[in-house]
Amino acid sequence: MNALTGQELELARAHAQSVVRDLRKAMPKLEDRAIDLILRQARSHYAWTDRPVSRETLEAIYKITAAGPTSMNCCPARFVFVTSDEAKQRLTKALKPANIDKMMAAPVTAIIAYDGEFWQELPFLFPHEDRRPHFEGKPDHAESTAFRNGTLQGAYFMIAARALGLDVGAMSGFSNAAVDEEFFVGTTLKSNFLCNLGYADETALFHKLPRFAFDKVCEFA
């Protein structure tokens, strides 16, 4: 653990506060078109063009994803980018038949996974206090924390990809056990969900499905 102290800590805090204030001043909120791009008018896609996705783009998506909040900055998500024909064939073993063609056509399929022993990295990620005792010897607590925060990071990943101009299509029609057997044997990782990634063929889209109104699902307490 190597936490900042003294004047270094005060300078770092002052810089962080200044960055947030300056950003809020320059851009109080996103424009409507930006919100449309990442969520409001964005769609889940099932058909893909053959336009490739570069490693540089995937790295940029990850860097945005990694900036999103997780509890205690635990960052439990792990990402496997399935791009090769050999890896795609391995992944087909876990998919429901209806999802195989969707995955095979996508330039990239990301396995969004999480590390059940994320807490081992907390001295690096949360250096000002040793939080490992909160999880050591408590596998159920570690599992729920990893799954919850890894799922959050998966959502950040999808929004980040859309923000950079890509399309996404998340999939849950597969066997987690089969994915884990094929890709994560001998590790502390478990799969959460899959996400196809690339540049979509919009001709496969159908109309947008309904969403609940505010008063249907929201209340004040």
pLDDT in tens, 39-97: 999 999 999 999 999 999 999 999 999 999 999 999 999 999 999 999 999 999 999 99
What token pair was written down for 119?
Answer: 């807490």
* pLDDT for res 41: 96
Mean pLDDT of the chain: 97
Q: How far is CA 179 from CA 37, 84, 109, 194, 198, in A?
A: 31, 16, 13, 10, 21
Q: Quick one: average pLDDT of 166-173?
A: 96
- H-type helices in the chain, by residue range? 6-26, 32-35, 55-66, 85-92, 97-105, 122-125, 139-163, 176-183, 214-217
* pLDDT for res 10: 93
pTM above 0.85, yes or no: yes
Domains identified in the chain and CATH numbers: 31-207 (3.40.109.10)
Q: Quick one: average pLDDT of 153-173?
A: 97
* pLDDT for res 2: 79
Quick check: 1 pLDDT over 80?
Answer: no
* pLDDT band of 141, cuts 50, 70, 90: very high
Residue 38 DSSP class: I
- pLDDT above 90 covers what percent of the chain? 96
* pLDDT for res 100: 97
* pLDDT for res 156: 98
Quick check: 4 pLDDT over 90?
Answer: no
Instruction: Kindly report, residue by residue over 19-38, the tens digit of the pLDDT.
Output: 999 999 999 999 999 999 99
